[in-house]
Chains A and B, each alone.
Chain A
């Protein structure tokens, strides 16, 4: 029995009829010129009217998606005279965000002698880290080296990455793998201990380490378990997103105001240093795209750090993953891992014809998908109106042998099986989905920022990946820079002389909005998307 409606099954029969022919014939990859053309005309980042320059703050003039610009220019939740006289809690290092970067920072800050409070919007571990499937890069084989990894990262990022950040990323990578293993993470290995490593889009060596297709989940639950083991020094506060940073009279960051999501009480948490690790913003649904991101990914850290005066960068480029689920409606936008194409599944249109090389860089592949649907009208339209293209997963077992799908993609099989679709027998319908925020708050290699006492790590930051991130470098980024941020914040906290807390930056922000007449009508950070349908 098929989980697809009859009109889609019709198209699947065309996909099946071309399969034998396609097995022996792959579509050619594009020339650099062809790539330029498809990117310019169809990639969401290149649609000029969907971007605009922000009009206030230190990075005034920077372009970003209009949806993001609207909330970056938003009004604060709290007034500048918010009562800071009696902090709800005090600590050395306040970590904002309970994903992989925040957990790594908390652990390293604690190891270096700091008392830590980790505050997070939803549950500890509800983060994009948990959802990352593919793996984590590290150059640890004899055939590979950190310098080759460096070249891959910087070429993939169109040579716009910050060199010092890429250096940190690739040089720390093998140490991070060892650290995770010592914490008890279960990597995929051969029986002699050799790591099983694969290629990802844009890698010149096989260096993708994995834990089945639960790589991020395995990292997150291991880090979370370790944080919980250290509860005497690390206090975790859930359902308490930060809504504003607090500075002192010398402009040093000394904590944040957090909101108890359930009681709506607002509290000041005082700290000597702050690590901002709030992740990305897929739930802002730029240009109406669905997203692979978790429910709380609303770009909060960008808003708070920027209002405090930290410069932003690279936010004109977002990563659209070419293959988000497009059917069934219940899982639209969820990630179909790049590994599916890596294992041999080809993208094909409604007539069962190939239209793009399966492993172009993510931005090029996504643009080609959009072109096939928008311009050429060769996409499938689902009953809910969602366009999509076929990803011919049954090819995997023809190429790799029976059982290959269950073995390599158990999470994918389970996801589609729940809706009556057997991906070993029927193709998956996919369409580009908003996946990753390449840009964010600018940072140095030690994770410090322009604001004393404010450290930054993970997807909220910008510069590591330039204008395009490669698969497997985000799980690496959160651990490398999470660890660095924790260490830096802890040693900074030991030395800093903390002054009187105030919210002068909030007052200044309000003043600037008033003077420039900028009013987007939004209070930010927005904290959660609103999917309710109220009559």
Chain B
């Protein structure tokens, strides 16, 4: 597009604004998300796109705005473009990850430190927290990790979508999100209180308690099944 054409566009569609995708300028409607703006500009996305709903962490994006010294981080599918945005996506970030057998671990500080010794290298600088598009206090959960507090680490990190922006900013070269999922799995398997009612139901199922009743249901003709369905009592709220 020539400058003249762009000028015409700007006068006919006044909400077009300039953004810079990896340094290259495109004019895009000001109402679009970064992701839709890239598509508007003609990109058919393969990397840096996933659920498009803020849950998967595929579209981690870093940007600056012309004239503003600050570096910003967000999800491309959840962030609206601004005039003068300089955009770069981080669709993949190499991060250390330990392999482990969750069935042979103990939910202790030692497990955390031996699986990820770098936990103790955290400088507490907070660059991770600033980068988190989920507004998780990453520094805080890393502090819990340094204390070996698996329950707190699991709880604070719960909304993590593992986009990797924290790791990309960490001067201590940590992969916070991998440490966090280890903690959550240790918590879920070992520290969370067990459900007695679930155990009881499993025993009943193994003893075949519901087999004959279920078989009878399966063999009902439709009319009788409809009656059973309509007559079933509903547990109150």
Q: Are A126 and B50 in contact (CB under 8 A)?
A: yes
A375 at the binding interface (Cβ < 8 Å): no
B58 at the binding interface (Cβ < 8 Å): yes
A85 at the binding interface (Cβ < 8 Å): no
Known: A154-B229, A189-B195. A418 touches B79 (CB 8 A): yes
Closest to A122 in B: B50
Contact residue among A131, A146, A148, A533 (Cβ-Cβ distance under 8 Å from B56) = A131
CA distance in complex: A216, B195 (Å): 20
Q: Are A532 and B39 in contact (CB under 8 A)?
A: yes
Contact residue among A159, A189, A217 (Cβ-Cβ distance under 8 Å from B222) = A159
Which chain A residues border B198 with CB–CB below 8 Å? 140, 174, 177-178, 181, 195
Contact residue among A146, A148, A204, A328 (Cβ-Cβ distance under 8 Å from B205) = A146
Q: Are A183 and B235 in contact (CB under 8 A)?
A: no
Contact residue among B135, B192, B197, B226 (Cβ-Cβ distance under 8 Å from A141) = B197
Q: Are B56 and A530 in contact (CB under 8 A)?
A: no
- In angstroms, how far is the closest chain B Cβ from the Cβ of A433? 11
Q: Are B195 and A528 in contact (CB under 8 A)?
A: no
Which chain A residues border B43 with CB–CB below 8 Å? 532
Q: Are A130 and B55 in contact (CB under 8 A)?
A: yes
A252 at the binding interface (Cβ < 8 Å): no
Q: Are B202 and A175 in contact (CB under 8 A)?
A: yes
Closest to A133 in B: B55
Q: Are A186 and B197 in contact (CB under 8 A)?
A: no
Which chain A residues border B134 with CB–CB below 8 Å? 414
B120 at the binding interface (Cβ < 8 Å): no
The interface stretch among B61-69, B82-90, B165-173, B179-187 is B179-187
Q: Are B58 and A193 in contact (CB under 8 A)?
A: no
Q: Are B100 and A199 in contact (CB under 8 A)?
A: no
Contact residue among A184, A189, A331 (Cβ-Cβ distance under 8 Å from B189) = A184
CA distance in complex: A106, B33 (Å): 35
Q: Are A410 and B159 in contact (CB under 8 A)?
A: yes
Q: Are A186 and B154 in contact (CB under 8 A)?
A: yes
Q: Are B55 and A182 in contact (CB under 8 A)?
A: no
Known: A177-B198, A178-B202, A330-B31. A184 touches B52 (CB 8 A): no
Q: Are A414 and B135 in contact (CB under 8 A)?
A: yes
CA distance in complex: A257, B44 (Å): 23
B124 at the binding interface (Cβ < 8 Å): no
Known: A174-B198, A225-B185. A528 touches B44 (CB 8 A): yes
Which chain B residues border A147 with CB–CB below 8 Å? 210, 213-214, 217
CA distance in complex: A164, B219 (Å): 11
Closest to A225 in B: B181
Q: Are A415 and B186 in contact (CB under 8 A)?
A: no
Chain B contributes a number of interface residues (CB within 8 A of A) equal to 71
Contact with B along A305-324 (1 / 0, CB 8 A): 00000000000000000000
B46 at the binding interface (Cβ < 8 Å): yes
Which chain A residues border B154 with CB–CB below 8 Å? 186
Contact residue among A178, A214, A221, A530 (Cβ-Cβ distance under 8 Å from B181) = A221
Known: A146-B210, A226-B102, A531-B36. A183 touches B185 (CB 8 A): yes
Q: Are A123 and B42 in contact (CB under 8 A)?
A: no
Q: Are A154 and B39 in contact (CB under 8 A)?
A: no
Which chain A residues border B54 with CB–CB below 8 Å? 411, 414-415, 418
A34 at the binding interface (Cβ < 8 Å): no
Q: Are A163 and B46 in contact (CB under 8 A)?
A: no
Which chain B residues border A292 with CB–CB below 8 Å? 53
B93 at the binding interface (Cβ < 8 Å): no
Closest to A191 in B: B193
Contact with A along B75-118 (1 / 0, CB 8 A): 00011100000000000000001011111000000000000000
Closest to A217 in B: B55
Contact residue among A175, A222, A294 (Cβ-Cβ distance under 8 Å from B185) = A222
CA distance in complex: A528, B45 (Å): 9
CA distance in complex: A483, B135 (Å): 35
Known: A175-B205, A178-B198. A150 touches B51 (CB 8 A): no
B127 at the binding interface (Cβ < 8 Å): no
CA distance in complex: A177, B225 (Å): 28
Which chain A residues border B51 with CB–CB below 8 Å? 126-128, 130-131, 294-295
Q: Are A533 and B39 in contact (CB under 8 A)?
A: yes
Contact with A along B198-237 (1 / 0, CB 8 A): 1011100100001001100110001001101110111101
CA distance in complex: A159, B224 (Å): 11
Q: Are A330 and B32 in contact (CB under 8 A)?
A: yes
Which chain A residues border B161 with CB–CB below 8 Å? 217
Contact with B along A144-160 (1 / 0, CB 8 A): 01111011101100010
Q: Are A125 and B197 in contact (CB under 8 A)?
A: no
Q: Are A123 and B58 in contact (CB under 8 A)?
A: yes
- In angstroms, how far is the closest chain A Cβ from the Cβ of B37? 10
Known: A125-B56, A143-B235. A330 touches B36 (CB 8 A): yes
Which chain A residues border B184 with CB–CB below 8 Å? 184, 186, 222
Contact residue among A145, A229, A262 (Cβ-Cβ distance under 8 Å from B102) = A229
Which chain A residues border B226 with CB–CB below 8 Å? 155, 159
Which chain B residues border A194 with CB–CB below 8 Å? 195-197
Contact residue among A183, A221, A532 (Cβ-Cβ distance under 8 Å from B44) = A532
Q: Are A222 and B55 in contact (CB under 8 A)?
A: no
Closest to A534 in B: B42
A7 at the binding interface (Cβ < 8 Å): no
Contact residue among A164, A229, A294, A531 (Cβ-Cβ distance under 8 Å from B99) = A229
Q: Are B217 and A199 in contact (CB under 8 A)?
A: no
Closest to A125 in B: B56
Closest to B197 in A: A141
Residues 161 to 191 of chain A near chain B (Cβ within 8 Å): 163-164, 167, 170-171, 174-175, 177-178, 181-187, 189, 191
Which chain A residues border B24 with CB–CB below 8 Å? none
Known: A151-B232, A159-B226, A183-B102. A142 touches B197 (CB 8 A): yes
Q: Are A195 and B46 in contact (CB under 8 A)?
A: no
Q: Are A295 and B210 in contact (CB under 8 A)?
A: no
Residues 381 to 418 of chain A near chain B (Cβ within 8 Å): 384, 410-411, 414-415, 418
Closest to B237 in A: A199
Q: Are A221 and B52 in contact (CB under 8 A)?
A: no
- In angstroms, how far is the closest chain A Cβ from the Cβ of B136? 11
A206 at the binding interface (Cβ < 8 Å): yes
Q: Are A330 and B188 in contact (CB under 8 A)?
A: no
Q: Are A185 and B225 in contact (CB under 8 A)?
A: no
Q: Are A130 and B56 in contact (CB under 8 A)?
A: yes
CA distance in complex: A115, B31 (Å): 48
Given contact pairs A154-B229, A184-B185, A184-B187, enumerate 12 new A-B contacts (beta carbons under 8 Å). Answer: A122-B49, A122-B58, A154-B225, A171-B214, A181-B189, A182-B103, A184-B189, A204-B235, A330-B36, A334-B53, A335-B53, A411-B55
